[in-house]
Amino acid sequence: MKAKHLVWLRRISQALFLVLFLFLLVETRFPDSIYLEYSLAVTTEQDIRLHYPSTFFFQLNPLIWLTSLLSGHIWIKGFFWAVGVILLTLLLGRFFCGFVCPLGTLHHMAGRIRPALKGKKMIEANRKRGSQKIKYFLLLTLLISSLMGLNFTGLLDPISLFFRSLALAVFPALGNGIKAICDVIARSDIKPLNLLSYGAEVLVSPVFGYGYQSFKTGWFIGVLFLVILFLNRIRPRFWCRTLCPLGALLAIFSRFSILGLEKNNETCTDCKLCERDCQGAASPHPDQGWDHTECLLCFNCSGGCPENALSFRFKWSHLPSRGPDMGRRAVLGGLMAGISLPLLGRLDGNIHAVSDPRLIRPPGALEEKNFLELCQRCGLCMKVCPTNVINPALTEGGMAAFWTPNLIMTLGYCEYSCILCGSVCPTGAIKEISSKEKIEQPVRIGSAYIVRGRCLPWSGNGPCIVCEEHCPTSPKAIYLRNEVVPRSDGKESEVLLPYVDLKRCVGCGICEYKCPVKGRPAVLVIAAGESRSVRNQILLDMQGGSYAQGGLASPRRERVEQGKPFHRLDRR
């Protein structure tokens, strides 16, 4: 195969994987083409799940596999894909960065299309630099920190970062922009224009979300993403060379790569085209320190060489004599940061004390400590949620829980029988449960209480039973009593007053969402009573419910059941 063909092969592979990534991202939504069959059996207990394996790229990702193993001591679903990537990396080097990684492809495009730098400046920008060691520092920070029980890999992992940026910022921004246009057209009184807007809405809603999703802190996620993209104008694939922890991990595993670069010094005219186009800043001169750990296998050097002086060959003799150039400072720094961040993360008191009342985790989420060991903050649960209730946390869970999923009941509510978030979680931080489990155990995410001062009937402002009407449990957790309340005109009136039965409440939040008192509703859901926590309980006869009684057991809880010792702290 000629070197030029390899470049095209790489481009085709990059395009296919990018398209696949985008396709799976778009399909991470409530599948609106599934209609349950009713004639076979009137009682339908089928669960609605996704058509496509939306976690594929996360399973392919060795960094997520390794950090989940280190922090949560679990083998995540489909991790053999990641093992396969590592095995191939051992032989080939960082083929994942050059051929597969969708974020890498985007960076590649951002750096190549109308490049900001030309000629000598580009050659200069593509020189190897000391700053490329930063990625090892970040990798070590993430690995050590995971080992210490705080896994924030997803903040920097390219797959999580790309998914989060697209799903929580780019797509919602485009979707809401299109909606703004549709709304203007829909407001028109000319019928064909109305139809046009309806048609546009029907067409774009599968891509941008049926209900026009938007997310708290979405702007920040978007700005960061734009900054990372912009860095490609300063140096091509800045992210991949300098920051990407997955790239660093793969670089370490490329230790035994037998695919090496060879150069025919006789034909080389030293035109430096290879240096100009090198994506990894790996100085593509085998005799002058070509760094195989920095090489992204883009094949630009061999494919672009006018004299065909460069070529990639399989040879045992290519076995590199040394490992990746990490630098002592990066290693020590990584160790220090990896140890300190988990410790600092606990200073908020959110791990060993009962957490913020407004930190409401998705149904099936593990208890907070185990949850933070596994959550990637990738945004899959947030993207798939049909009501848009799951949002990235800002401060609710402290530093350690930044951008982890948090349910904000004024923005949506948890649908009683919906289990999609758990079914897409790539690491099992949210356990996969069935509708039946969710309803029958039940899986509680919090509990509601009435704020009597704002409640319309309680405050004498008139009848309203909206919270009770929407309450999904049977019998209803919100019940009504006919009582006499004073009115502003001095008279008294008989109204139905809402009360909450904590034993029945699952914390779904539809009462808070539908309450006519907007902004700060008259019925609020707090995390207390959530099934996942042993400590965060209100009633004496609730023992962290379903989690302790099996079904949703966390790794630690399983040890308790087997009679093995566990940390006293967990039980405080």
Partner 1 sequence: MEETMDQSITRREAIRKGLIISGSVLLAGTLGRPDLKSPVALAEQKKGGFVVEGVGKAEGYSVAELTKRVFDAAGGMQQFVSKGDVVVVKPNISWARAPNLAATTNPEVLEAVIKLAFNAGAKKVRIVDNTIHDARRCFALSGAGMVAKKTGADLIYPRSSLMRDMKIQGHRLDVWPVFTPVIEADKVINIPVAKVHTLSKLTLGMKNWIGGVGGRRNALHQDIHQTIVDLAQFFKPSVTLIDAIRVMVKNGPSGGSESDVAVMNRLILSNDPVAADAKGAGLFQIPPQSIGFILLAEKRGLGTSDLTKLNQQQVIL
Q: Which two tokens stand for residue 317?
A: 């003799």
Q: If binding is defined by CB under 8 A, does position 210 make contact with partner 1? A: yes
Q: If binding is defined by CB under 8 A, does position 227 make contact with partner 1? A: no
Candidates 469, 483, 492, 561; binder of partner 1 (CB under 8 A) is: 469
Candidates 50, 76, 100, 182; binder of partner 1 (CB under 8 A) is: 182
CB of 356 to partner 1, least distance (A): 27
Contact 415, 506 (CB under 8 A): no
Q: If binding is defined by CB under 8 A, does position 201 make contact with partner 1? A: yes
Q: If binding is defined by CB under 8 A, does position 174 make contact with partner 1? A: no
* Mutual angle of helices 3-26 and 102-112, in 10-degree steps: 120
Q: If binding is defined by CB under 8 A, does position 211 make contact with partner 1? A: yes
Calpha distance 290→262 (Å, rounded)? 10
Q: Closer CB to partner 1, residue 133 or residue 179?
A: 179
Q: Closer CB to partner 1, residue 311 or residue 387?
A: 387
Q: Which two tokens stand for residue 459?
A: 């405050």
Q: If binding is defined by CB under 8 A, does position 471 make contact with partner 1? A: yes
Contact 406, 390 (CB under 8 A): yes
Site for partner 1 in 505-564 (CB under 8 A): 514-516
Q: What is the CA radius of gyration of the chain?
A: 27
Contact 297, 99 (CB under 8 A): yes
- Residue 304: alpha-carbon gap to chain centroid: 37
CB of 419 to partner 1, least distance (A): 11
CB of 520 to partner 1, least distance (A): 15
Give the position of tokens 């000391």.
130
CB of 222 to partner 1, least distance (A): 23
CB of 241 to partner 1, least distance (A): 43
Q: Rounded to the nearest 5°, which phi and psi values hold at 456?
A: -60, -55
Q: If binding is defined by CB under 8 A, does position 290 make contact with partner 1? A: no
Q: If binding is defined by CB under 8 A, does position 54 make contact with partner 1? A: no
CB of 524 to partner 1, least distance (A): 16
Q: Closer CB to partner 1, residue 198 or residue 230?
A: 198
| Interface segment toward partner 1; rule CB under 8 A; list 39-47, 284-292, 370-378, 401-409 | 39-47
Q: If binding is defined by CB under 8 A, does position 198 make contact with partner 1? A: yes
Site for partner 1 in 352-391 (CB under 8 A): 386-387
Calpha distance 8→414 (Å, rounded)? 47
Binding map of partner 1 across residues 440-459, x = CB under 8 A, - = no contact: ----------------x---
Give the position of tokens 């985008």.
22
User: What residues are paired with 505 via a beta bridge?
Assistant: none
Q: Which two tokens stand for residue 540?
A: 């004496």
Contact 465, 498 (CB under 8 A): yes
Q: If binding is defined by CB under 8 A, does position 488 make contact with partner 1? A: no
Calpha distance 104→109 (Å, rounded)? 9
Calpha distance 363→346 (Å, rounded)? 24
CB of 198 to partner 1, least distance (A): 5
Q: If binding is defined by CB under 8 A, does position 38 make contact with partner 1? A: yes
Candidates 417, 487, 538, 572; binder of partner 1 (CB under 8 A) is: 417
Q: If binding is defined by CB under 8 A, does position 463 make contact with partner 1? A: yes
With contacts defined by CB under 8 A, how many residues of the chain interact with partner 1?
A: 57
| Interface segment toward partner 1; rule CB under 8 A; list 162-170, 200-208, 248-256, 349-357 | 200-208
Q: Closer CB to partner 1, residue 162 or residue 416?
A: 416
Q: If binding is defined by CB under 8 A, does position 116 make contact with partner 1? A: no
Calpha distance 139→249 (Å, rounded)? 7
CB of 377 to partner 1, least distance (A): 24
- Residue 348: alpha-carbon gap to chain centroid: 23
Q: Closer CB to partner 1, residue 78 or residue 472?
A: 472
Candidates 51, 114, 118, 191; binder of partner 1 (CB under 8 A) is: 191
What 3-state class would DSSP assign to 447?
A: strand
Q: Closer CB to partner 1, residue 17 or residue 513?
A: 513
Contact 498, 430 (CB under 8 A): no
Q: Which two tokens stand for residue 510?
A: 């539809």
Q: Which two tokens stand for residue 219?
A: 């702007």
* Total Cβ atoms within 10 A of residue 47: 18
* Total Cβ atoms within 10 A of residue 180: 10
| Interface segment toward partner 1; rule CB under 8 A; list 31-39, 58-66, 226-234, 442-450 | 31-39
What 3-state class would DSSP assign to 262?
A: strand
DSSP 467-529: HHHH--SSS-SEEEEEEEEE-TTS-EEEEEEEEE-TTT-----HHHHH-SS-SS-SEEEESTT
Residue numbers of the site for partner 1 (CB under 8 A)? 30, 32, 34-39, 42-45, 48, 179, 182-183, 185-186, 189-192, 194-195, 197-198, 201-202, 205, 210-211, 386-387, 415-418, 456, 462-466, 468-476, 480, 496, 514-516
